[in-house]
Amino acid sequence: MASATSSKDTASPAVIPTVIPAVQADSPPRTDAALTEMWPGKAYPLGSTYDGSGSNFAVFSEAAESVELCLFSPDGAGGLVETRLPLPEVDGFVWHGFVPGVEPGQRYGYRVYGPNDPAAGQRCNPNKLLLDPYAKAIDGTFRWDQSLFGYNFGNPDSLNDDDSAASMPKSVVINPFFDWGTDRPPQHEYADSIIYEAHVKGLTATHPDIPERSRGTYAAIAHPAIIEHLKGLGITAIELMPVHHFANDSTLIEKGLSNYWGYNTIGFFAPDSKYCASSTPGGQVQEFKAMVRALHEANIEVILDVVYNHTAEGNHLGPTLSMRGIDNAAYYRLVDDDKRYYMDYTGTGNSLNVGHPHSLQLIMDSLRYWVTEMHVDGFRFDLASTLAREFYDVDKLSTFFELVQQDPTVSQVKLIAEPWDVGPGGYQVGNFPPQWTEWNGKYRDTVRDFWRGEDESLGEFASRLTGSADLYENTARRPVASINFVTAHDGFTLRDLVSYNEKHNAANGENNNDGENNNQSWNCGVEGPTDDPEILELRAQQQRNFITTNLLSQGVPMICHGDELGRTQGGNNNGYCQDNEITWIDWGKADHGLIEFTRSVAELRAAHPVFRRRRFFDGLPVRRRGSVHIPDISWFTPDGSEMSDEDWDSGFGKSVTVYLNGHGIPDLDPRGRRVTDDSFVMCFNAHHEPICFTLPPEEFGKAWQPVIYTVEGAVMEGSRPVAAGAKLTVEARAVIVLQAAEQA
């Protein structure tokens, strides 16, 4: 075992200018290498803060004995000069100082002097340059070599003192000023929302109408071509996969791959520079803000997929990049009986220590920053159950949830939980506090099973279609707590869901062992690409079935980017490492017919509040003057009789009719008036043969006008209404939606 402390003297020198190799091609405004002036500054806010005359720097570390601020400026010969300045003050374990004349664009980092005793949970090492946990921007990339690691390869118990500055990206002082103009958050109600899950690069990398230099960037998301596409689909919120600055894993780089999804965060305040069209250090902040402003002008909200359950520093064999070297025991949850190791609930190597006040502060400060300064409208929390593990089991009353509940800023934006992890009792769907919504994985699984014709799925299908009251009603939540989706980034695309039975992940370099094995998919008869017209027709119909079901279910629908135009990943259901044509939308092969179909269903949802109820159905008769009292919802067998318990329990039931009463909506509009709508009938046939449906009797409606039919070539415009009680043949594996009409 190596010495518990660094071999370097723990006393920090006054000023140390050193020359290191250049690691960035472009340069920020030059900092005077002779700069030595340091004022006490302030302990808050944490991070770097430019005030017009200079910059304040503040960093938390209870473990530190001293902290150096390291400023980097070009030396004029292709290298960088590092100037080290000791932070002169510490208040409440926050080390701070103010440097006059430091302007936006200045690169910086920290060196922390303190104990290096992994067995006690301490891993300070001043030879490792550290990113600011509160950095608003990060410039450069990691050069994975020995210097980034606190131990010598092959000997985890050793101490490595190689200087890491040349291999590290740098934190950047940003310009906090931005002209937001008249920007206002759209503040769409959940019930009126359609969420579009998208990847900044994947959505825009090949779009022909976007200038080539802007493709794959925040600026591309703000381009009129993308905004018009989203508006055409009725999208009210774009949910961006992680844009917090993340590290590209060395193991992937060695394989010629990269971290595409971004679930490897190292900067919770910093939009990733990889998605920035500008080459100016810190320019990504301005570009991100401009994107948000443009989307808000189009009445589209911005939701961020955030990863607070772990960081890119990984397990005990991971690199020392930031929090590990600043205060390992404060920021990370360690194994109680051996603090060399990290608690890992998600398979990612570590977990943030949500039981420590400063770690919690980091999370909450970050969330507030993105709302107040970056104007985002909500968050989707990756593996959110981890944040509730204050002790061991998931706790709905954990400190994190209490802080969110009490916070006047964070509590007012959209909060979406991914409700599963790999820890004890990891699957937590339905168990989050009342103000949260959740990715409803049970909805996904049930709808997939229903449309591939699985037995005994009818009853649960009905529950999912109507908002999953079994999951959310007992916690005083409403149907909008359910974020309904059939596909997401993690898994098959919609096109692949109907084209593959098995995953095809060979390109990931893991011998097809990665990714989910049980996809609840069906290839419609042939695995992968085919020229068989019948199979192609069935696949197209199944996609329309999924889109119709999702958009017309109670709750909040979410579309995975490209599903509306037939995006394929060639059967790869784990594209996390494929930053290439496998995962990017190929706009040149867009299925325009599917786009138009998706638009038509989205328009139907937007026009009719019966599909956007704010309360669960109760099945009770609705009082209407001069008419028979009809329930707000009714279920019928294909022969027209009301569903019995025996019908629901039938293992072979694959077809059902549902009646939605437009006069049974218990909601009020913004001015307090009762909401009424047309009534609708939906006939679902997941059977492999056509079925003759008998429409509900006349007391439910005199006639019914077909408005959506998922069969190829179905033309709704100009079709004649069908009388009550009439027989209607619905083709195999299809759904038809009918709207109440005055007469046949």
| DSSP secondary structure string for all residues of 448-504 | HHHHTT-TT-HHHHHHHHTT-HHHHGGGT--GGGEEE-S--SSS--HHHHTT-SS--
302 SS3 class? strand
- Using the CB atoms, write b or e for 212-223: b if 16+ within 10 Å: eebbbbbbbbbb
List the Cα angle 359/50/400 in 5-degree steps.
20
Catalytic residue among 117, 239, 382, 438: 382
Q: Per the residue annotation, which of 301, 365, 418, 496 is the catalytic one? A: 418
Per-residue buried b or exposed e for 402-432, using 16+ beta carbons within 10 Å of the residue's own CB: ebbeeeeebeebbbbbbbbbebeebebbbbb
Q: Where are the alpha helices (DSSP H) in 560-668?
A: 592-607, 645-649
Chain Cα centroid distance, residue 571: 22
Question: Is 418 annotated as catalytic?
Answer: yes
d(CA 589, CA 585): 9
| Residue 432 C-alpha from the chain's centroid | 17
- Per DSSP, what are the bridge partners of residue 657? 636, 683
563 given a catalytic annotation: no
CB 492 within 8 A of CB 450: no
Q: Give the relative orientation of helices 441-451 and 533-551 as an angle to the nearest 10 degrees.
A: 140
Q: List all residues 6 or more positions away from 610 whose beta carbon is below 8 Å from its beta carbon.
A: 660, 661, 662, 665, 677, 678, 679, 680
Query: What is the rounded distance in angstroms from the CA atom of residue 481 to the CA atom of residue 191?
Result: 9
Judge contact between 599 and 232, C-beta under 8 A.
yes
Active site residues: 382, 418
